Amino acid sequence: EVQLVESGGGLIHPGGSLRLSCAASELVVSRTYMSWVRQAPGKGPEWLSVTYSGGDTFYADSVKGRFTVSRDNSKNTLHLQMTSLRAEDTAVYYCARVIGFGGVPNRYFEYWGQGTLVTVSS
Amino acid sequence: QSVLTQPPSVSAAPGQKVTISCSGSSSNIGNNYVSWYQQLPGTAPKLLIYDNDNRPSGIPDRFSGSKSGTSANLGITGLQTGDEADYYCATWDSSLNTWMFGGGTRLTVL
């Protein structure tokens, strides 16, 4: 059974940095599309990034330049480095496996982790 | 404000059916697959429908999806109290090269 387990969330002051992790089992993160998606309290999901198997990552405009995705293939883990955090970054952060077609990650989110809560507040 | 438009809420009695709509544009729904996700309170979204009208293994056939032009629908028949949840549509946007989610629809089974 595929499992995605996020960790690293917590309370952080505005302007601070935080690194989230997504550990996968029964799925090889370096061989598939992986995304980060967040959900602010009472809001719908917001897509943040997609990482291709080759390692390239594309970001939503809302986080471009502040968030960076990296991958540790030896640990089968995806990371999300978040900097210059703002109150509006407060959300539950999910990693998800994405299924694509024709070399594009465009079909659906097949598996989701349980999420990790990030709270940005002074 | 979401690019994909869903009604904020729908409700119906147990055993009845509901349809949840999702409206977009030619750059997203019109030219890409639509998927639907169910989010029970306090849990992560769960894939309900993929590629417009396909159900993953384990999803009952009470749930169905359809797409026409720049709109998609999720249908749920034989409503159960356990179906009370938030439902989200999602699709890729070919112009922006990003994923889009609908604002979500809260289903209440009265």
Chain A residues closer than 8 Å to B100 by CB: 47
Do the Cβ atoms of B45 and A109 come within 8 Å? yes
- Chain A: give the shortest CA distance to residue B71, in Å: 16
**pLDDT (tens digit per residue) in A65-121:** 999 999 999 999 999 999 999 999 999 999 999 999 989 999 999 999 999 999 999
Q: Find the mean pLDDT for residues A28-55.
A: 96
pLDDT of res. A46? 97
Does A45 sit within 8 Å of B101, measured CB to CB?
Answer: yes
**B3 band by pLDDT with thresholds 50, 70 and 90:** confident
Check whether A35 has a pLDDT greater than 80.
yes
C-beta atoms surrounding A85 within 10 Å: 21
Residue A10 β-bridge partners: A118
Q: What does the mean pLDDT of chain A come to?
A: 96
Beta carbons within 8 Å of B34's beta carbon, 6+ residues apart: B22, B49, B52, B65, B67, B72, B89, B90, B91
At a CB cut-off of 8 Å and minimum separation 6, what does A97 contact?
A2, A4, A24, A27, A32, A33, A34, A35, A109, A110, A111
B47 contact A CB<8A = yes
Nearest to A15, CA basis, from A80, A66, A63, A83:
A83
Q: Which two tokens stand for residue B92?
A: 């890729």
Query: Would you place residue B1 in the very low, low, confident or very high pLDDT band (cuts 50, 70, 90)?
Result: low
At B22-80, the pLDDT tens digits run 999 999 999 999 999 999 999 999 999 999 999 999 999 999 999 999 999 999 999 99
Q: Do B98 and A35 touch (CB under 8 A)?
A: no
Q: Residues of chain A with pLDDT > 70: what percent? A: 100
Apex B16 CA angle, B14 and B18, nearest 5: 115
